[in-house]
Amino acid sequence: MAKITYVEFNGTQHVVEVASGLTVMEGARDNNIPGIEADCGGACACSTCHVYVDAAWVGKLPGKEDMEEDMLDFAFQPDAARSRLTCQIKVTDDMDGLVVHMPEKQI
């Protein structure tokens, strides 16, 4: 279990516990976090679960696979260093305290 902080574009924070083995996207979906739409349900076939990973966490997460890199090209204002698709981040206990920031919109 990891506590993850989801920060909406307007600054509203949602701190929720997400079970290890789920994705950061599933944690948002299961806790009704606004700002992560997840239109494809986690298949890495859209960019509607795009977030900016807090700078302190960028180097602590597993790297992006090629498919995620490709899909991020379709995200709203992607950041080469901080942008991630939450459907591609599998939660582990080591992610306790992870902070992700939502973009202004999902496309």
What pLDDT is stored for residue 23 in this prediction? 98
Structural domain boundaries in the chain: 2-101
CATH class of 2-101: alpha beta
- Tens digits of pLDDT across the chain (107 residues): 999 999 999 999 999 999 999 999 999 999 999 999 999 999 999 999 999 999 999 999 999 999 999 999 999 999 999 999 999 999 999 999 999 999 999 99
CA 16 to chain centre: 13
What pLDDT is stored for residue 37 in this prediction? 95
Q: Check the CA dihedral 79-61-32-15 and report its sign.
A: negative
